[in-house]
Structure 1
Amino acid sequence: MAALEEEFTLSAVHLSAGPDGLLGVEQSHKTDQFLVTDSSRTVILYKVSDQKPLGSWSVKQGQVITCPAVCNFQTGEYIVVHDNKVLRIWNNEDVNLDKVFKATLSAEVYRIHSIQGTEPLVLFKEGAVRGLEALLAEPQQKIETVISDEEVIKWTKLFMVYRHPVLIYITEKHGAYFAYVQTFNSSVLSKYTLLHEQEEKSVIQSFTASVDRKVISLMSLSSDGCVYETLIPVHPGNQEKSRKIVRSLLLKDTVSGSTQNGAALAVLDRDHVAVLGPPLPAAKDRLSIWNTKFQTLQTSKDLPQGTSRQVWYYGENLFILHGKFLVVIPYKCEVSSLAGALGKLKYSQDPGTHAMSHFVNWEASQGFGAGSQDSEQSKRILRRRKVEMSTQSEVPVSTQLLSTIKKDNEKHIEVELRKFLAAKRTPEFYTTVGDVVIGLVERCKAEPSFYPRNSVMQLIQTHGLSYSLCPGLMEVALEKTDVQVLQLCLQQFPDIPESATCACLKLFLSVSDDSLQEADVSMDSVSDCSDAVHDETMEQQPGILQNGFRPEDSNCNNCEKHQDTGDEATSCPVTPKRAALLNVILRAAYSEAFLLPHLKDIPAQHVTLFLQYLYFLYLKCNENATMTLPGIHPPTLNQIMDWICLLLDANFTVVVMIPEAKRLLLNLYKFVKSQICICSELNKIEVSFRELQKLNQEKNNRELYSIEVLELF
């Protein structure tokens, strides 16, 4: 999963972007600072967190910068080349580029590469590479020609592999593309010819690459709108001068195939790439993130003001020239796996309970072997099973049940379902359960009066369902305001999307108390919710400690006493059944980046109510030293704090404007200050114990008696 966050402008200054856009965006020796080189005369140093420039340097009138400025990570200085051969080196204190160090080279420079761990490397237009130090020692040294006549460098990138630099650059000649790999620890230059797997001619519009120490994954975005991948070994096994490698299709139709202005491609991690270009002919530009492992579109963002079709990425930020301004678009990419797509499971298996699998082994249920990879063999097995079933004289219970749910009434369906659940379970059991639920959901949508609630609950409790297996089930339950079924789904399904979780939260907060009174809700996670917090432990009685800390005895000036925390601190703001429903939301799996946008749609009064309940739970956790809530499956303190942060992050501006939430925010602020004070005191105690431990070790080495005084804070 991936998400694009809200963009922000790096600077309000117009950048001089030529027809080909900017020359480059390069990272400085400080992670939050970047060098931006326009297409004419200026280099600007920006600080992203402050969204402002820290310095600007320009060459004289008549001079033109011909390659992006970079930072020498070994010295902290900046390097740029203008007029193809003139190299300049300066630092932050320099003002005029005309007065800084200058070196005129003997050949034209294509690009300067600089990354952490090695000196800057200069790539010349003829394919030769020189280290900066050797080049500065003899600027007019002869530069050899590596590439052939009419061969032009199109793209280049530098990697660090086993602490040694490896440079790759791509050239083009008469529509043919070549890859050169230069390893500097062994001084080996390898040349490869890039061939299309279907032998079709296409213009490559953008390149990007990643490396995993042994193989370089070169990706290219072609004029047909598809992304291709080429695997190039870092250290080739043979020493042939020319090798041929094939470009294989990786992603199809990522951008419009008829675009004339090009498109951009950037690899974000092992399984995600960013594509910038028009999605359809004559459409506005769009930034998209694709998953290369599952070949799916993860997220996209329209850029209506147009772009230069260039994209740079550093850390978790994308840099794009949107209109006339350079903007930064933060992004997040989760681990590309099915487990990662399910979100963060905030709770673990309770001790003593039987671990039940939430997923169906589809290969086992269909009778496939563990090592079977042949699709034709799988089809033959399925056909054989169908023939065997057709020759059986007795109709299986599952077949009878699937036929019943299409036409019979709810009571008859319950009878057939009990027969099915009582029968001996076969490998196809969970597959049939999914088919039954899908059949029930389809009939519920077709017949609004039909809702076999008891049958649905029995099927959910088989522990063999998931949201992806029956996505319409929770939708029907939401329409019927069936909070009990929704509670079961939230407890049983491991893959509920954040949008569905938030929809359940909205329902749990808005449903009336009268409707909840009639609902049969599991109360395992709730214990004495309606009792006052101060009945036993929150009363300010002499000699009683609160979580090992007595506020009145503290001399910490920053701590706030909790004598008057308002009505929110004395009683639960919701009924016990509503509390049980909200607790299952707190324990649900979610991914923060995808949940936040949906939380912004919750009405303000419901946000305030949920915050009051979370604040109440927080006070309950502070009643004892274990910082836990009573109950069988209560939410944890971390889950409570995470949801407080999520709600405030998504709705802080709205909450601040609500008068009813003013006292709540003030109480939350006081508790944050008190916790900081408590942590500070605990740190002091930790330091004291460390000093005691050191003294005990020293005493073991001493033979003479001595008296020592340890001064505590």
Structure 2
Amino acid sequence: MAAFCEEFTLCTLAGAGGSALPQGPLGLEPARDRVLLTDRGRTVTLYEVSDQKPLGCWSVKQGQNITCPAVCNFETGEFVLVHDDKVLQIWKEDDTNLDKVFKATLSADVYRIHSVPNAEPLILFKNGAVKNLDALLAAPQQEIKNVFSNEVIRWSEAFTEAEKPGIVFITEQDANCFIYVQHNNPNMLHKFKLDQGDESSTMLSFAVYLTNKTVTLLCLYSSGCVYKVLVPLQQNDSEEQHILPKSLLIRLEESGTTFKHASLTILDKNHFAVTGCLDSSEKSFKAWVSLWNIKFQTLQDSKELPLGSSGQCWCYGDRLFVTYGKELKVILYKCETSSLAAALGKIQSSPTSETKLLSVNWNMLQEDGLLCVQPDQSVPTKGESKRLLRSRRTTGAKTQLEPLTVEQLLLLIKNSSPNEIEEKLMNFLSNAQIPDFQISVRNIILALMNRCEAEQAFYPSNCLVQLVQMQGLSYSMCPGLMTVALEKTDICLLQLCLQQFPDIPEAVTCACLRTFLSISDHSLGEMNINIDYVAGYIDTAHNRKKEDQSNVIQNGFSSELLEENCCDSQLTQKSHAIDSNFCPVGPQKAVLLNAILCSAYSEAFLLPHLKDLSAEQVILFLQYLQFLYMKCSEQANTDLPGMFCPTINQIMDWMCLVLDAHFTMVVMLPEAKGLLSSLHKFVRAQVRFYSELNKIEVSLKELQKINNPKDVDLYSIEVLKLV
């Protein structure tokens, strides 16, 4: 799931003094923990985002214009810009005058400078050539060979694959679009043609992310359609030009809508953000920013921008930078691991008194990008100033110990003993305000699972139980958890997962069912399973009801009705006939089977896996389902007392599914004859009872149709006769 959090204004945009909206900055680039803002003129400003203040500002001479956004060289900490297309300048943060810094004039026009982590910046020229900054500085006037002549670059982005930097850029020529992939080390260039298909609108924005040695390119068109294009990083040596098809990923707006300005940026491999302005006066809002899920093509969150926008947005860390009116806004967001349950809004379980609720307080954002908030700290009100928030943060740091971070805990899991891990984990969960809760807990579980696979003797059951009890998780976030629990026969953890996870696959549900049915009641009695859930109807299950209650009709049920009109009286005398007053399983196993009955499933996917049950397991499960159905029928409201108890509809659905999956076996087994006979008689009695209820219902409706005459005297006796 993705959602917007707190927002604040970073700065006022240059050229925002008039009434019209500014055109928007030339670019915004990361500079380690800060950002470098380049306006469409002469100025570059370095901002500390957490403090919302500028740390430095530099300008080129009057008459000169910066032609591509300034970037930070992560290797040296220096800043690099190009003005007037060819003049390259490099300076440090403590430099105050750009006239006195390094300057070099290049032999070709520069389109863009791309900063790359752990590498020197890459220079992309307008003729398609790509040079490393170091190689370019060695000979600034070196000849730059043309990659193409008549094409115009529309967009470019840098990437790192196998620790080797590269650039992907898009060109346009005569309504044809071409995609280039440039590897700088070794120097290789691949060219592809983009298939336009039936799309006739204008391309507005592009974004890429790298997965499995393939660049996934997202293209946003003015029609509001987002297309996906898969660009291979390697191409077979062939003179034939490859044509890359595109597929429609998401339609942001209804057909007929036209975007005037819009940009798209990748948040992670499962989410992206779009800032757009509609070219329509009929819309009630001018612009907005929205978060979308790539995997499920769903809108996650949206925020209107009533003051308008230039349609620009950038994403660095967990911060989204959006032009809003005459300001540059910073919008904090959170992205958690995508799953079907999260996309449908069912990932969060309802909080209980035993669960500690963890929330993110973005006002306490630390410089390193992590959150460090104690549970007893209250969320500041909107009226509190940023200065007060920073002072509170400083004061709190002095009086409280710094809690263990997620990264430290992950390192601890690799080598420490189970007891030490459990101790540190309990301290982490109780004392730390966990940033990105679901992601953090998922990473901890995966780290524990990885060590379980590497070390057979390692299995921290208590740690896993504590993590699942935190709630907010799903099967898709930690798919290996229940598999390991099944291998270790961790019954308590399986029960907890069945109660907490909303998206367990049917194959895993049936595997849990087979495990629960096969384990003995004696073994379950030694486990810590809360039997209070079933105490309301199983505490007397192993005692025969009193004889004076055997003939009492409750909710239409009577033992006499069962014996009446029996089609095969001999079956009731069999020793294996089922008495509905007895529970065929112990209370611990009943709790586990109830967790199975209450789990979500799809009949089409569940039915094939139910066929894996053995004959013994089928008979035992049907006996327990019959017992539950009898107990439900004895209650006036048909609800069993206690928590996590199945409804009568769930009981009947499972009974029908099991009978469908094993119809032939149940009919042929002698052990099942008594069970089937008992079920048959009980169903027949219920049908007879509901038939009588229908008659009463008809009679009552007839009474309602009769017009009651007005009372003549104060006292009268009236007799109604139903024919």
When normalised by structure 1's length, the TM-score is 0.51
Q: What's 2:469 paired with?
A: 346
* Pair 1:362–1:458, CA change in 2 (3 A): farther
Which sits farther off after the overlay, 78-87 or 199-208? 199-208
Matches of 1:273 and 1:199 in 2, distance apart? 24
Please list the CA deviations of residues 85-140 of structure 1 after superposition, one character each: whole Å capped at 9, or x if unmatched.
11111112222222222111111110011121211111111111111122222222
Please list the CA deviations of residues 580-603 of structure 1 after superposition, one character each: whole Å capped at 9, or x if unmatched.
xxxxxxxxxxxxxxxxxxxxxxxx
CA shift at 1:43, angstroms? 0.3
Matched, 1:84 2:85: yes
* Pair 1:254–1:286, CA change in 2 (3 A): same
Q: 1:355 aligns with which of 494, 501, 505?
A: 494
Matched, 1:310 2:312: yes
* Pair 1:347–1:244, CA change in 2 (3 A): same
Matches of 1:355 and 1:74 in 2, distance apart? 49
Q: Secondary structure at the match of 1:263?
A: strand
Matched, 1:326 2:328: yes
* Pair 1:354–1:329, CA change in 2 (3 A): closer
Q: Secondary structure at the match of 2:258?
A: coil
Matches of 1:13 and 1:153 in 2, distance apart? 26
Matches of 1:72 and 1:335 in 2, distance apart? 32
Q: What's 1:258 paired with?
A: 257
Contact 1:223–1:257 (8 Å) recurs in 2: no
CA shift at 1:452, angstroms? 8.4
Matched, 1:8 2:147: no
Matched, 1:194 2:194: yes
Which sits farther off after the overlay, 346-355 or 91-100? 346-355
Matches of 1:247 and 1:352 in 2, distance apart? 48
| Structure 2 unmatched runs, 5+ | 349-437, 439-467, 472-484, 511-553, 560-579, 585-592, 604-634, 654-723
CA shift at 1:339, angstroms? 6.3
CA shift at 1:6, angstroms? 2.0
Q: What's 2:76 paired with?
A: 75
Matches of 1:432 and 1:209 in 2, distance apart? 37
Matches of 2:257 and 2:76 in 1, distance apart? 46
Please list the CA deviations of residues 390-439 of structure 1 after superposition, one character each: whole Å capped at 9, or x if unmatched.
xxxxxxxxxxxxxxxxxxxx967999xxx9x999x9xx98799999xxxx
Q: Secondary structure at the match of 2:96?
A: coil
CA shift at 1:55, angstroms? 0.7
CA shift at 1:185, angstroms? 2.2
Q: What's 1:214 paired with?
A: 213
Matches of 2:64 and 2:26 in 1, distance apart? 15
The letter for the 2-side match of 1:89 is I
Contact 1:256–1:279 (8 Å) recurs in 2: no
Matches of 2:601 and 2:583 in 1, distance apart? 13
Contact 1:279–1:286 (8 Å) recurs in 2: no
The letter for the 2-side match of 1:225 is G
Contact 1:70–1:80 (8 Å) recurs in 2: yes
* Pair 1:456–1:300, CA change in 2 (3 A): farther
The letter for the 2-side match of 1:137 is A
Matches of 1:354 and 1:267 in 2, distance apart? 37
Matches of 1:464 and 1:280 in 2, distance apart? 55
RMSD value over aligned CA atoms? 4.2
Q: Secondary structure at the match of 2:260?
A: coil
Matched, 1:455 2:639: yes
Matches of 1:123 and 1:433 in 2, distance apart? 54
Q: Secondary structure at the match of 1:220?
A: strand
Identity between Structure 1 and Structure 2 (%)? 45
Matches of 2:59 and 2:205 in 1, distance apart? 29
* Pair 1:114–1:354, CA change in 2 (3 A): closer
Q: What's 2:242 paired with?
A: 243
* Pair 1:116–1:329, CA change in 2 (3 A): same
CA shift at 1:49, angstroms? 1.1
Matches of 2:73 and 2:26 in 1, distance apart? 18
Q: What's 1:127 paired with?
A: 128
Matched, 1:289 2:291: yes
Q: Secondary structure at the match of 2:261?
A: coil
Q: Secondary structure at the match of 2:116?
A: coil
Matched, 1:21 2:2: no
Please list the CA deviations of residues 467-492 of structure 1 after superposition, one character each: whole Å capped at 9, or x if unmatched.
xx9xxxxxxxxxxxxxxxxxxxxxxx
Matches of 2:599 and 2:36 in 1, distance apart? 57
Q: Secondary structure at the match of 1:6?
A: strand
Matches of 2:22 and 2:238 in 1, distance apart? 41
Q: What's 2:99 paired with?
A: 98
* Pair 1:76–1:362, CA change in 2 (3 A): closer
Contact 2:116–2:122 (8 Å) recurs in 1: no
* Pair 1:363–1:141, CA change in 2 (3 A): same
Q: Secondary structure at the match of 2:127?
A: coil
Matches of 2:298 and 2:175 in 1, distance apart? 30
The letter for the 2-side match of 1:11 is C
Matches of 2:90 and 2:557 in 1, distance apart? 81
CA shift at 1:211, angstroms? 0.6
Contact 1:267–1:274 (8 Å) recurs in 2: yes
Alignment of 1:369-408 (within 5 A): none
Q: Secondary structure at the match of 2:185?
A: coil
CA shift at 1:462, angstroms? 2.0
* Pair 1:20–1:239, CA change in 2 (3 A): farther
CA shift at 1:461, angstroms? 0.8
Contact 2:110–2:126 (8 Å) recurs in 1: yes
Matches of 1:465 and 1:61 in 2, distance apart? 79
The letter for the 2-side match of 1:115 is V
Contact 1:251–1:295 (8 Å) recurs in 2: yes
Please list the CA deviations of residues 220-246 of structure 1 after superposition, one character each: whole Å capped at 9, or x if unmatched.
111221111111111224444521010
Contact 2:127–2:146 (8 Å) recurs in 1: yes
Contact 2:85–2:110 (8 Å) recurs in 1: yes
Alignment of 1:490-529 (within 5 A): none
CA shift at 1:260, angstroms? 4.6
| Structure 1 unmatched runs, 5+ | 368-409, 436-450, 470-713
Matches of 1:166 and 1:2 in 2, distance apart? 29
Between Structure 1 and Structure 2, how many residues are aligned? 404
* Pair 1:13–1:194, CA change in 2 (3 A): closer
Q: Secondary structure at the match of 1:355?
A: helix
Q: Secondary structure at the match of 2:246?
A: strand
* Pair 1:354–1:10, CA change in 2 (3 A): closer
Matches of 1:240 and 1:107 in 2, distance apart? 28
Contact 1:268–1:313 (8 Å) recurs in 2: yes
Contact 1:290–1:296 (8 Å) recurs in 2: yes
Q: What's 1:156 paired with?
A: 156
Matches of 2:8 and 2:641 in 1, distance apart? 48
Matches of 1:465 and 1:224 in 2, distance apart? 48
* Pair 1:153–1:465, CA change in 2 (3 A): farther
Matches of 1:412 and 1:223 in 2, distance apart? 67
Q: What's 1:115 paired with?
A: 116
Q: What's 1:175 paired with?
A: 175
When normalised by structure 2's length, the TM-score is 0.50
Q: Secondary structure at the match of 2:134?
A: helix
Matches of 2:205 and 2:167 in 1, distance apart? 17
Please list the CA deviations of residues 275-323 of structure 1 after superposition, one character each: whole Å capped at 9, or x if unmatched.
1114794332111111111111111111111111011110100111111
CA shift at 1:13, angstroms? 6.3
Matches of 1:41 and 1:432 in 2, distance apart? 61
The letter for the 2-side match of 1:327 is K
Matches of 1:75 and 1:291 in 2, distance apart? 37
Contact 1:255–1:277 (8 Å) recurs in 2: no
Matches of 2:228 and 2:246 in 1, distance apart? 5
* Pair 1:52–1:258, CA change in 2 (3 A): same
Contact 2:228–2:247 (8 Å) recurs in 1: yes
